[in-house]
Amino acid sequence: MYRLFPFVHCLLPVLLMFSSFSVNADGLNEKIASQVQTVKDGVVTWRRDIHANPELSNREFRTSALVAEHLQSLGIEVQTGVAHTGVIGVLRGGKPGPVVALRADMDGLPVVEKTGLPYASTVLGEYQGKDVGVMHACGHDNHVAILMGAAQVLASVRDELPGTVKFIFQPAEEGPPKGENGGAKMMIAEGALQNPDVDAIIGLHISQGDEVGRASYRPLGFMASAQRFDVEITGSQTHGARPWAGVDPIVVGAQIVNGLQTIVSRQIDITQHPVVVTVGQFEAGVRNNIVPETATLSGTIRTFDPTVRAQVHEKIQRVVTQVAQSQGATATVEIDPGVPVTFNDAALTAQLAPTLKDVYGQAQVSQPVLITGAEDFSFFQEQIPGFFFFIGGRPADVPVEKAIPNHSPFFYVDEGALPLGVHAMSRLAVDYLRSDAG
């Protein structure tokens, strides 16, 4: 024992330092949990206000003004007008350390709401030259309100933060209108990850895939890459009573739709590579008894592997052009670059997953199967390590087989998910700063 004394004597200051760090960490965690309770009513109020006043991609003027005013009231440095309507807030902690970004998307969808909620949207807008209803059918209203709440929580403990938190409120996650730039890619181009340079980024998404009180994440590839394709078919106009006198682009289009389905069902090994090819638009004609000259199709492609993605693109080109040629028509197809796979950095995921489990409970956090939905959060992840996770919004009394998908006019969430989202985003930011600074 005598011989061990010098070693123990030297080790004692180190042990006391770690003990002090643990006490301080626990104290900060308690403050964050307490502040979450303080802001939760405000978060619900913001969410309902944003839900009742949705705005389409690159048109989030009211939402961005609400966000900017809130951040400024907290003494956070604010930059507006990034990628048209994006807002960036910078909260500098009282201690030196790294920079972590928290991101929320702000845009709604061209969907007529049918939820019947007291704060349901009745907003009308214009999308691709058409008058449409506008709805937060993907839950972005929740994301904005959660990040506004997290900003308030973290601002209340700024003196104890070992680093900087950057809040990124992003427009046009659903994709900018055709012919416009926008979204995460444009925010990056305009410096969203610079001044100060961001070391890691965290984002979330709400859905009814899980019930309220649960969360999920997946290391590495998580959500699919996505590209839009547009097909223009040119035939020959004629009277509907004499179709043999022309070339019917509607029939050609129908055969192209059927041909595209065989790419997934017959030309890709889907046991190894999940793929989706969906046609979501088919437009042609102005009158019942006229065979029109043209028809247009638009759709989406979802893949998880770059090589398979290239193969699918080539097969779409072949099906479209050769089916049209076989019927005496011509057709062209354009495929946009789209968004890459949402890819959670392995080291960052291993670092932050325990925090998510601490907030939600070990048994309430799971790793789901691959998700064929897409997220332009993936552009941020191409630049720096990123961690993206889902939070459950399905009411506990709704069985999973009756879960309402995002983008449905009936989509809604249990607002009990909101304070948990605030807590998770706040703790993930703080724990990243602490672990990296330590």
Q: Give the pLDDT confidence of 253-284 residue by residue, as tens digits.
A: 999 999 999 999 999 998 999 999 999 999 99
Q: Torsions phi, psi of 103, nearest 5?
A: -120, 140
CA distances from 381 to 162, 201, 326, 425 (A): 23, 8, 43, 17
Are both 47 and 189 inside the same structural domain?
Answer: yes
Domain boundary among 280, 309, 335: 335
Number of domains the chain contains: 2
What DSSP designation does 219 have? S
Are both 176 and 280 inside the same structural domain?
Answer: no
What DSSP designation does 166 have? E
| pLDDT tens string 158-173 | 999 999 999 999 999 9
| pLDDT tens string 55-104 | 999 999 999 999 999 999 999 999 999 999 999 999 999 999 999 999 99
Are both 239 and 386 inside the same structural domain?
Answer: no
| pLDDT tens string 185-233 | 999 999 999 999 999 999 999 999 999 999 999 999 999 999 999 999 9
Contact 206, 417 (CB under 8 A): yes
Are both 50 and 171 inside the same structural domain?
Answer: yes
Are both 58 and 178 inside the same structural domain?
Answer: yes
Angle of CA points 105, 106, 109, to nearest 5°: 110
On the 0-12 / 13-18 / 19+ scale of CB atoms within 10 A, 240 is middle
22 band by pLDDT with thresholds 50, 70 and 90: low
Looking at the predicted structure, is the pLDDT value of residue 1 above 50? Answer: no
* Domain containing residue 420: CATH number: 3.40.630.10
Phi/psi region, residue 182 (left: phi>0; alpha: psi -120 to 50; beta: rest), is: left
Are both 330 and 217 inside the same structural domain?
Answer: no
Domain boundary among 335, 363, 381: 335
- Assess if residue 387 is contained within a domain: yes
- Nearest-10 crossing angle of helices 140-156, 5-52: 140
* Domain containing residue 309: CATH number: 3.30.70.360
Are both 66 and 181 inside the same structural domain?
Answer: yes
The residues, ordered by sequence, that sit 6+ positions from 298 with a Cβ below 8 Å of its Cβ are 228, 229, 230, 231, 279, 280, 281
| Residue linked to tokens 């003004």 | 65
The residues, ordered by sequence, that sit 6+ positions from 62 with a Cβ below 8 Å of its Cβ are 53, 55
- Assess if residue 357 is contained within a domain: yes
Looking at the predicted structure, is the pLDDT value of residue 41 above 70? Answer: yes
178 band by pLDDT with thresholds 50, 70 and 90: confident
Can you give the residue range of the structural domain that contains 241?
A: 225-335
The model scores a pTM over 0.85: yes
- Assess if residue 13 is contained within a domain: no
Q: Residue 44 corresponds to which amino acid? A: V
3-state SS, residue 333: strand
- Assess if residue 7 is contained within a domain: no
- Assess if residue 301 is contained within a domain: yes
Are both 249 and 205 inside the same structural domain?
Answer: no
| Ranges assigned E (strand) in 32-145 | 77-82, 86-92, 95-105, 124-127, 130-133
Angle of CA points 371, 346, 392, to nearest 5°: 40
Q: Are strands 162-170 and 95-105 parallel, antiparallel or unpaired?
A: parallel
